[in-house]
Every structure is written in C-alpha cells, then in structure tokens.
C-alpha cells in the first residue's frame, strides 16, 4: 500500500477521503486542513493571541500542538473541576505536555475558587453534573480569555455532527442557530473558535500517535449516561456503512447557513459580575449565592 502523494509505504488509511498516506504526508495533510479551516471561516489572523482550553484529552492537546506548530501565538488554560480520580490525572497530562513543549499554561482550580468540586456543586445547584460542568467551563474560559483575541476549543467533527444530530432530532432551533464554527464576540462574551470542526477524532488519534502526544483516554466518569455519547455511537455506525457521512452532514449544515442572519437571543449584563445572561443574574453567580446559603 503506497502513499497517495510520495509513493512511500502508507501506514494510514482515511476512508472519508479515500486516501492512503505515510506518516509524514499525513501530518502535512492534517496541518493543511486545520489551516484551511481557520482561513475558510476567518477564525483569526496570524498575529492574534489565542487562549486554548485544554482538558488533558487528545483533541485539545493536539489542537494546542498543531496551532503552535503552524505558527500561531497560543497559551493553554486548564480547568481542574475537582472530579476525584479523574481531574488529577487529566491535569498531570496537561502539565507534562506544557513542560515538554515549553508552552505557557494557566490552571484554574474550581475547588480553590468555589470551595467544592463539580459533584458537590451539582448537588447544591440541583442540576445534573454535566450541566453544571458546562456552565462553569464556559464562564471561566470566557473570563480568562480577557486580553486574548479569541478562545479556541477542541470540538471535533464528531462533536459537531453529534450535537447537530441531537439538535435536529429534538428540533432545538435556538441551539441550531448558535452552532457555528465561530461565535463572534459580544460585549462581555469573547470570540470562540473551533479549528477542528472539520477534523475527525480518528484523524486526531493518528496525529497524537505520530507526534507522541500523551493524553487521558477514558471519558469523564460524570458523562457516563450523556446523550451526546449515544448520538456519537449512532453516527459511528452510519460512518462505518457510509464513509464521509459525518463530514457531508455537517458541511451541508454549514453550507445552508442556518445560523446566519438570525435574531440573536436578548442578553443583559449580570447585575453582579457583568457577564451577559438571559436573566438579571447569571448561572455562575446564582450558584455562588446557593453556595453561600448552604454554608450559613
């Protein structure tokens, strides 16, 4: 089996593109696609400072690696969510990666900031853990992105396709209108970008292996029954029968531009912290209020 481009021995097969590549040509192919995605959606310019949310998983670490490699100015942000037996391991991978590559990294510890981890916070808030976790990460990432041109997350094609599938299945029009590769800045809300939105998790796994990037491989224990994993499983089966189905599905959504030219949800500044929210007090500040009440 020969590489499509250099005719050397090919070790990687990409069914979605009907390509067989050697490791060197795969890296070039991978980096080019990320660069073209950034250019296609005008995510950022070469001089921008990018804050990258890094969890310790392969997607975010590979994103940090490739953005730095192709010449962008980056810094990592890791949020320690205080999930026993999982957060410690995730942080270890992030710290090692940053040390090995001499990258700048900032760590925010939720327990130090709020006095409790996600499990306890979800109990106090009366919400499911994933909902509280998502709210915390969005708030903290947005806050820490002050001074940067944009915030980058490691959302992959698999993530975007499964989210799109779930939103269509439940016909959640508000979420559909916000599912863009780029979320523009809006007063206190920072610009958010997804450079991996057209890159599959399989491709990222190949990249991590070739570049010797160590990462935490298990899923978060709190996401065990998450519907997003169920949707991913369904789309994996579709992809097995129909290679490139995920890519076509998501690219058609982007092409239709369903999220363009729509009326934005009315937001107002939180009266406590100023973060834009749909109500007088944002979810983060409401959680802090509940924490204070629980400690009285």
266 neighbors 279 (Cβ within 8 angstroms):
no
All structural domains of the chain with their residue ranges: 32-265
What whole-number distance in Å separates Cα of residue 276 and Cα of residue 268?
5
Mean pLDDT in residue range 17-39: 97
Distance CA 63, CA 34 (A): 9
Name which of 48-52, 153-157, 292-296 the model is least confident about. 292-296
CB count in 10 Å sphere of residue 237: 11
The residue with greater pLDDT, 188 or 242, is: 242
**What pTM was estimated for this model as a whole?**
0.94
Predicted local distance difference test score (pLDDT) of residue 262:
47
Of 107, 102, 12, the C-alpha closest to 64 is 102
How does pLDDT run across 143-167, given as a tens digit for each residue?
999 999 999 999 999 999 999 999 9
Rounded mean pLDDT, 87-114: 97
Calculate what percentage of the chain has a pLDDT beyond 90: 84
Q: Among 86-95, 196-205, 222-231, 284-293, which stretch is predicted with the lowest mean pLDDT?
A: 222-231
Condensed to tens digits (0 to 9), the pLDDT of residues 212-237 reads: 999 999 999 998 888 999 999 999 99
Quote the CA–CA distance of 278 and 265 in Å, as a whole number.
8
Q: What is the CATH number of domain 32-265?
A: 3.40.50.620
Q: Which pLDDT belongs to residue 175?
A: 83
Please give the Cα distance from 138 to 183 (Å, whole number).
Answer: 13
The alpha carbon of 81 is separated from its chain's Cα centroid by a whole number of angstroms, namely 16
Q: Is the pLDDT of residue 58 over 80?
A: yes
User: How long, in residues, is the chain?
Assistant: 296
Q: Are 265 and 183 in contact (CB under 8 A)?
A: no
What's residue 260's pLDDT? 65
pLDDT number for residue 63: 98
pLDDT value at residue 263: 46
The pLDDT value recorded for residue 223 is 87
Residue 107 has pLDDT above 50, yes or no: yes
Report the pLDDT averaged over residues 25-39.
Answer: 97
pLDDT at residue 259 greater than cutoff 70? no
């Amino acid at each position: 089996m020969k590489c499509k481009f250099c005719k050397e021995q090919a070790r990687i097969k990409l069914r979605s593109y009907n390509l067989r590549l050697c490791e060197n040509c795969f890296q070039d192919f991978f980096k080019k696609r990320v660069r073209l995605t950034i250019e296609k959606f005008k995510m950022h310019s070469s001089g921008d400072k990018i804050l990258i949310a890094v969890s310790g998983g392969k997607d975010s670490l590979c994103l940090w690696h490739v953005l730095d490699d192709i010449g962008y100015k980056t810094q990592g942000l890791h949020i320690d969510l205080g999930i026993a037996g999982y957060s410690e391991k995730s942080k270890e991978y992030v710290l090692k990666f940053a040390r090995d590559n001499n990258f700048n990294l900032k760590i925010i510890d939720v327990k130090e900031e709020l006095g409790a981890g996600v499990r306890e916070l979800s109990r106090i808030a009366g919400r499911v853990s994933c909902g509280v976790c998502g709210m915390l990460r969005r708030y903290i990432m947005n806050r820490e992105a002050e001074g940067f041109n944009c915030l980058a997350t490691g959302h992959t094609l698999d993530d975007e396709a499964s989210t799109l599938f779930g939103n269509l299945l439940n016909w959640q029009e508000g979420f559909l209108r916000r599912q863009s590769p780029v979320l523009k800045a809006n007063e206190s809300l920072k610009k958010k970008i997804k450079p991996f939105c057209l890159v599959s998790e399989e491709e990222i796994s190949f990249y991590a292996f070739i570049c010797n990037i160590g990462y935490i491989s298990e899923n978060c224990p709190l996401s065990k029954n998450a519907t997003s994993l169920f949707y991913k499983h369904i789309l994996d089966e579709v992809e097995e029968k129909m290679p490139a189905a995920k890519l076509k599905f998501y690219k058609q959504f982007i092409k239709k531009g369903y999220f363009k030219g729509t009326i934005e949800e009315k937001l107002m500044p939180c009266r406590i912290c100023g973060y834009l929210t749909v109500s007088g007090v944002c979810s983060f500040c409401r959680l802090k209020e509940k924490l204070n009440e629980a400690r009285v």
